[in-house]
Amino acid sequence: MSVSCDMLVFGGTGDLTLHKLIPALYHLHREKRLHKGVRILALARQSLDRAAYLALAERHCRAQIARSDFNPEMWASFADRLDYFSMDASQRGEFVRLAHYLGHVEGRVRVYYLATAPRLFEAIAANLEAAGLAGEQARIVLEKPIGHDLASALEINRSIGRVFAEPRIYRIDHYLGKETVQNLMALRFANSMFEPIWRSANIDHVQITVAETLGVEDRGGYYDNAGAMRDMMQNHMLQLLCLVAMEAPVRFDAESVRNEKVKVLEALKPITGLDVQDKTVRGQYIAGQIGGHDVPAYYFERHVDNDSATETFVAVHAEIDNWRWAGVPFYLRTGKRMAKKYSEIVIHFKPVPHMLFQSSLANRLVIRLQPEESISMQLMAKTPGKGMSLEQVELDLNLAHAFRQTRRWDAYERLLLDVIEGDSTLFMRHDEVEAAWRWVDPILKGWQGYYRRPRPYPAGTSGPDQARHMLERHGRRWS
Ligand SMILES: NC(=O)C1=CN([C@@H]2O[C@H](COP(=O)(O)OP(=O)(O)OC[C@H]3O[C@@H](n4cnc5c(N)ncnc54)[C@H](OP(=O)(O)O)[C@@H]3O)[C@@H](O)[C@H]2O)C=CC1
Ligand SMILES: O=C1O[C@H](COP(=O)(O)O)[C@@H](O)[C@H](O)[C@H]1O
């Protein structure tokens, strides 16, 4: 059910557009998932003519996607949809020019994708309205992070909400577009065996890890003002936590799913004041080696302050104060320049109440998002041969193998299509974003008072030792 529309991408020459959005749109085009009437207009200040922009977009697209997926004829037909418009989006007058360029087509859907710094969000929305471009058929997509703290997020939500009604605002969190993340909902809510055990009586604790080998690349200017808490924890990590912890929604629609996620966020136990020293760990990478290559310390990265106190690693012991999860720790950690790239959620079940055999093992459910997508249940089995010793074996569902014939979609492909089709189930509602900030703000404040300098960790390791100690104090280990 693809829909014809104009998609205007503000920030059309930026990293996100060239590395993620254009390749995702190209894939959708190639697989005939875009209506033939979908036109894409990239916008930025840089003065480029259409041919120069197409060359820039092609170069990046080729670099991003598998060689076998790139076909020059296919690119040429995709490029027919693509155009470039040079403008300064902070200037109201420029939008008159834009409106003129677009012309008026009654009832045509317009999607405004704001792939720019958040400081431009308010001006762009207001300028679109002033130019008569924000009618009922217009939708706006906002990239994370929405704001820098609760106050700025409220301000963004308020100013965008003045122009666009909530159902026409799509706050994107690309983790929600990842196939395994959606599979987590299928696993929990389409299999009767999990619901009875999905609670504190049976679950000892939950671990969520998103580890990257990349550093900050060219994004030091942004990252040094954000850090891992704002860049990853406030959004992606908390969204994963919500999907693990939420109750079954009444229906699989935008409002029902988001209602349940908000309840989880609102039940997060605040971490305030000195608590930050026990329940959080901040780290910053120093020089080290990844894959046999030397990599520099964070404070030597481009556009990063030499005396930066920004965290590139964060671990948190979160707790959810509700009936289902009381007393179950959720350990979350994310970091850059770690030993390997992987993202996974591990549900650690409690051991059986009375163990008959010589073993301290317990079941674990491992939901792996990256690099490969898989779900595996770790069960106890008898080691073959004499005696009764136990070993952990995996009941493994490798999703790439199970659905071998289909190319795995990138998260942005799925989410862009959802916006075009008007489905906001996998996007964040304003109160979700605000509830997440409400929990994050006191931690940031606590750090200001009691935890100013992050702990150093060598690039290529699994973060500072303090993260290990945080779990060891509870008699646990990271998976
Ligand atoms: N890069 C990524 O992987 C991710 C990025 N994001 C978010 O996406 C957003 C964009 O990030 P990213 O692409 O990295 O940023 P970049 O700095 O690479 O790109 C910013 C873009 O905005 C344009 N721009 C800046 N000022 C104006 C203006 N006044 N009028 C019109 N265009 C303007 C720039 O072009 P020009 O200077 O020519 O105007 C450029 O195209 C940010 O909010 C970021 O947090 C979120 C997730 C991942
Ligand atoms: O939003 C972001 O996500 C990426 C990690 O995304 P992934 O899909 O590669 O796991 C992160 O590198 C970036 O800093 C952050 O802004």
Note the pLDDT tens digit of each residue in 63-104: 999 899 999 999 999 999 999 999 999 999 999 999 999 998
Please give the distance, rounded to the nearest whole angstrom, from the Cα atom of residue 193 to the centre of ligand 2.
33
Output the DSSP codes for 416-449: HHHHHHT--TTSB-HHHHHHHHHHHHHHHHHHHH
Omega within 30 of 0 (cis) for the link into 371? yes
Closest residue by CA, ligand 2 atom 7: 175
Note the Cα 138 to chain centre separation in Å: 24
pLDDT digits (tens, 9 = 90+) for 331-358: 999 999 999 999 999 999 999 999 888 8
pLDDT of res. 93? 95
**Structural tokens at position 406:** 């289909």
With a 6 Å cutoff on the Cβ, whether 231 touches ligand 2 is yes
- Residues near 165 by beta carbon (within 8 Å), at least 6 away in sequence: none
Overall CATH class of domain 5-173: alpha beta
User: C-alpha distances in angstroms, 300 versus 194, 215, 293?
Assistant: 47, 11, 16
d(CA 254, CA 406): 26
The complex's ipTM? 0.97
Domains 5-173 and 178-472 share a fold: no
**430 assigned to active site:** no
Please give the distance, rounded to the nearest whole angstrom, from the Cα atom of residue 222 to the centre of ligand 1.
10
Mean pLDDT of 105-110: 88
For the CA of 216, the closest atom of ligand 2 is 14
What does the angle CA 193 – CA 197 – CA 203 come to, to the nearest 5 degrees? 140
pLDDT of res. 351? 93
Q: Is 445 annotated as ligand-binding?
A: no
* CATH number listed for the domain at residues 178-472: 3.30.360.10
How do beta strands 288-290 and 169-171 pair? unpaired
Please state the pTM of the whole predicted model: 0.94
pLDDT digits (tens, 9 = 90+) for 141-190: 999 989 999 999 999 999 999 999 999 999 999 999 998 888 899 999 99
Q: Provide, rounded to the nearest whole percent, the portion of the chain with pLDDT above 90.
A: 86
CB atoms within 10 A of CB 385: 6
- Which residues on neighbouring strands pair with residue 335, listed in sequence order? 211, 313
Q: How many CA atoms lie within 13 A of 366 on its CB side?
A: 24
d(CA 147, CA 385): 60
Rounded mean pLDDT of the chain? 95
DSSP code at position 360? -
In this structure, of 375-384, 416-425, 454-463, the range with the lowest mean pLDDT score is 375-384
pLDDT at 454 over 90: yes
d(CA 165, CA 61): 34
Best mutation site among 19, 20, 174, 368 for ligand 2, i.e. most ligand atoms within 8 A of its Cβ?
Answer: 174
Per-domain boundaries in the chain: 5-173, 178-472
